[in-house]
Chains A and B, each alone.
Chain A
Amino acid sequence: MLRFGRYVRAANVEDALEVLRFRKGAQVMGGGMWMRLSDRTVPCVIDLSDCGLDKIEETEDEYRIGAYVTLRDLECAADFNYRTGNVLNAAVHDIVGVQFRQLATVGGSVFGRFGFSDVICALLALDSEVELVGAGRVPLATFIDMPYELDVLTHVIVKKHDYLASYQCLRKAATDFSTINVCAARWDGTWHVAVGSRPAKARLLAGEALGVSSAEPTADEIARAVEAVRGLAYSSNMWGSERYRRHLAGALTARSIVQAAHYASTEAYQAALAACTREEAIR
């Protein structure tokens, strides 16, 4: 069972950072859903409940998602989801249950940088940054590889674009962790594909590394993306073998690109679907 050595309710995020830096072993608690699974004492738990981080704010060119926005709030944020291809709704709505998502926070999901994270996978394909009290704004792709420094995450920022996006994952059972999750998004004229639950941290492929450039990718282009995705590292655990994950990553990449893209004609769409059919192991 998780124990608190001390409990500090910070008045503002700067205070929180100070406590974090000066109290040995101090940790910020998000929803606490993951943290509470460990059997240990956290010397000092910092609560940001009073810091006003529980809102999604919209500016002219970005969405600022407070670290204490719950996954349920994120899922139900209609305008935000509408503008971002509904990928965050798709990523979170099968996570455990409503009562869980009412507590789990965006900040906790992102700061933890868990390999299985559905939230990170979806955000990574979008134009996302995190805002830290100490380090300031950092692209999400950079942040997920940063060491766990003593800093306080206050916001996740998603910049506005005309997103075309699709999130796909495979859960062995409903509400289970993803065996693989994939998010494809086209923005600023470029395709981005994030692959998570490899089971290591999510990876982002874009531009030339992905091999897809046209707005309406052809089956051959998608096949290049599938190959690129399969080139990432995968390994085995209880949720799937390395072989299966590699296969799934490709198959779901093809599906997510075809789903995300807007094909002008049915013929083009059908032709692109051939890339998905190619991934079918059952004929």
Chain B
Amino acid sequence: MSGKLMDVTINLNGKKVAAEVAPDMSLLAFVRDHGCKSVKCACETTNCGLCTVWLDGRAVLSCAVPMARANGHAVTTLEGLQEQSADFARCMAEEGAEQCGFCSPGLIMNVLAMEREIRERAEAAGEQAYMPTDADMDSYLAGNLCRCTGYTSQRRAIRRYMASRFESAPAPEGAWAGTIVSGEGE
């Protein structure tokens, strides 16, 4: 138990929330205490991704953020992204990709973070944002474990959603413009 309590204030889903807490309290425990039950704990070792929230707009593991560090920052959970997440949620539901649904909020938070980051990076570089490859998306989302789906239905949902948000990347110059079939790698 921490010796001292400290006053913290965070902006949680657009609302100012102040409390006196132990500085070592995890952001995960804090947001759950403040009604954000979508944020789940499924490991104690920062491996699963179920507790993903946005800290100042970037996806982080809330289990690994002590309140002393979250203090003064903006925190977003799925409760605060109900409208923004609706389209992706529909893609997931139509594939049956939520299954038990326990890991879904963490995945949704990271998929939306990925979408946002692609846009921001392109903007910063003054370029157009394009649809990422399957391999890039898998790599970005590798920290979100799921035991139900074998990931394949999630990929279908994520691909469909991202394709609705981004133009497909133009084929590299000189490349054959037809469908690129991946998988053989030879």
Indicate yes or no for A touching B, C-beta below 8 A.
Answer: yes
Please tell me which stretch of A96-104, A160-168, A190-198, A220-228 contacts chain B, meaning at least 4 of its Cβ atoms lie within 8 angstroms of it.
Answer: A96-104
Find chain A residues with CB under 8 A from B45 CB: 37
With A32-B64, A33-B64, A36-B64 known as contacts, the answer to whether A98 contacts B59 (CB < 8 A) is yes
* Inter-chain contact A31/B24, CB cutoff 8 Å: no
Please tell me which stretch of B2-10, B75-83, B91-99 contacts chain A, meaning at least 4 of its Cβ atoms lie within 8 angstroms of it.
Answer: B2-10
Q: Which of A38-58 contact B (CB under 8 A)?
A: 45, 47, 49
* Inter-chain contact B24/A96, CB cutoff 8 Å: no
How far is A93 from B113 in the complex, measured between Cα atoms in Å?
17
Q: Which of A85-113 contact B (CB under 8 A)?
A: 93-94, 96-100, 102-103
B143 contacts which of A1, A9, A100 (Cβ < 8 Å)? A100
Find chain A residues with CB under 8 A from B133 CB: none
Find chain A residues with CB under 8 A from B24 CB: 2-4, 7, 45
Find chain B residues with CB under 8 A from A76 CB: 121
How big is the B interface, by class? Answer: 20 to 34
How far is A93 from B142 in the complex, measured between Cα atoms in Å?
10
B132 at the interface (CB under 8 A from A): no
B61 contacts which of A37, A93, A100 (Cβ < 8 Å)? A100
Find chain A residues with CB under 8 A from B121 CB: 76
CB distance from A274 to the nearest CB of B (A): 22
* Inter-chain contact B143/A96, CB cutoff 8 Å: yes
Find chain A residues with CB under 8 A from B42 CB: none
* Inter-chain contact A99/B69, CB cutoff 8 Å: no
B156 at the interface (CB under 8 A from A): no
With A2-B24, A3-B24 known as contacts, the answer to whether A100 contacts B46 (CB < 8 A) is yes
A264 at the interface (CB under 8 A from B): no
How far is A7 from B2 in the complex, measured between Cα atoms in Å?
9
* Inter-chain contact A4/B2, CB cutoff 8 Å: yes
With A2-B24, A7-B6, A103-B61 known as contacts, the answer to whether A49 contacts B69 (CB < 8 A) is yes
A6 contacts which of B3, B141, B143 (Cβ < 8 Å)? B3
User: What total of A-B pairs shows CB separation below 8 Å?
Assistant: 82
A175 contacts which of B6, B113, B142 (Cβ < 8 Å)? B142
Interface string of B152-165 (1 = CB under 8 A from A): 00000000000000
* Inter-chain contact A99/B49, CB cutoff 8 Å: yes
Find chain B residues with CB under 8 A from A97 CB: 49, 110, 141-144
With A93-B139, A102-B58 known as contacts, the answer to whether A3 contacts B2 (CB < 8 A) is yes
How far is A90 from B156 in the complex, measured between Cα atoms in Å?
27
CB distance from B113 to the nearest CB of A (A): 8
Q: Which of B30-73 contact A (CB under 8 A)?
A: 44-47, 49, 52, 55, 58-61, 64-66, 68-69
* Inter-chain contact A33/B46, CB cutoff 8 Å: yes
* Inter-chain contact A9/B64, CB cutoff 8 Å: no
Find chain B residues with CB under 8 A from A93 CB: 139
Find chain B residues with CB under 8 A from A32 CB: 64, 66
CB distance from B109 to the nearest CB of A (A): 8
Find chain B residues with CB under 8 A from A4 CB: 2, 22-24, 66, 68
* Inter-chain contact A99/B4, CB cutoff 8 Å: no
A146 at the interface (CB under 8 A from B): no
- 25 A-B residue pairings within 8 Å (CB atoms): A4-B24, A5-B2, A5-B3, A6-B3, A7-B2, A32-B64, A32-B66, A33-B46, A37-B45, A45-B24, A45-B68, A96-B47, A97-B49, A97-B110, A97-B144, A98-B140, A98-B142, A99-B49, A99-B60, A99-B61, A100-B143, A102-B55, A103-B65, A174-B142, A175-B142
- 11 more A-B residue pairs beyond the given contacts A49-B69, A102-B60, with a C-beta to C-beta distance below 8 A: A1-B44, A4-B2, A4-B23, A7-B24, A7-B66, A45-B23, A96-B142, A97-B141, A99-B49, A99-B143, A103-B61
